[in-house]
A and B are shown apart, each in its own frame.
Chain A
Amino acid sequence: QKEVEQNSGPLSVPEGAIASLNCTYSDRGSQSFFWYRQYSGKSPELIMSIYSNGDKEDGRFTAQLNKASQYVSLLIRDSQPSDSATYLCAVNLWDYKLSFGAGTTVTVRA
Chain B
Amino acid sequence: DAGVTQSPTHLIKTRGQHVTLRCSPISGHKSVSWYQQVLGQGPQFIFQYYEKEERGRGNFPDRFSARQFPNYSSELNVNALLLGDSALYLCASSAGQGRNTEAFFGQGTRLTVV
Do residues B107 and A42 form an inter-chain contact, with CB atoms below 8 A?
yes
A43 close to B (CB within 8 Å):
yes
A90 to B102: give the CA distance in the assembly, Å. 11
Do residues A31 and B100 form an inter-chain contact, with CB atoms below 8 A?
yes
A102 to B33: give the CA distance in the assembly, Å. 19
The 8 A CB mask of A73-110 against B (1 = contact, 0 = none) is 00000000000000010101011111111110000000
Chain B residues in 8 Å Cβ range of A44: 43, 90, 105
A46 close to B (CB within 8 Å):
yes
A55 close to B (CB within 8 Å):
no
Number of interface residues of B (CB under 8 A): 28
Min CB–CB distance B7 → chain A (angstroms):
14
Do residues A46 and B104 form an inter-chain contact, with CB atoms below 8 A?
yes
B11-19, B48-56, B75-83 - interface stretch? B48-56
Do residues A101 and B42 form an inter-chain contact, with CB atoms below 8 A?
yes
* A97 and B48 in contact, given A31-B100, A43-B106 (Cβ under 8 angstroms): yes
Considering the complex, give the chain B residue whose CB is closest to the CB of A2: B42
A51 to B101: give the CA distance in the assembly, Å. 10
Chain A residues in 8 Å Cβ range of B108: 42-43
For window 8-48 of A, CB contacts with B under 8 Å fall at 31-32, 34, 36, 42-46
Residue of B48, B90, B98 near A43 (CB, 8 A) is B90
Do residues A43 and B102 form an inter-chain contact, with CB atoms below 8 A?
no
The 13 listed contacts between A and B (C-beta, < 8 Å) are A34-B102, A34-B103, A42-B107, A43-B90, A43-B108, A44-B105, A49-B102, A96-B33, A96-B97, A97-B33, A97-B48, A97-B56, A100-B44
Q: A46-B102, A103-B42 are in contact. List 13 more A-B contacts (CB 8 A).
A: A31-B100, A32-B99, A32-B100, A34-B103, A44-B43, A44-B90, A46-B104, A49-B102, A96-B56, A97-B48, A98-B35, A98-B45, A102-B41
Chain B residues proximal to chain A, CB less than 8 Å: 33, 35, 40-45, 48, 50, 55-56, 58, 88, 90, 92, 97-108
Closest 4 CB pairs of A and B: A100-B42, A96-B56, A96-B48, A31-B99
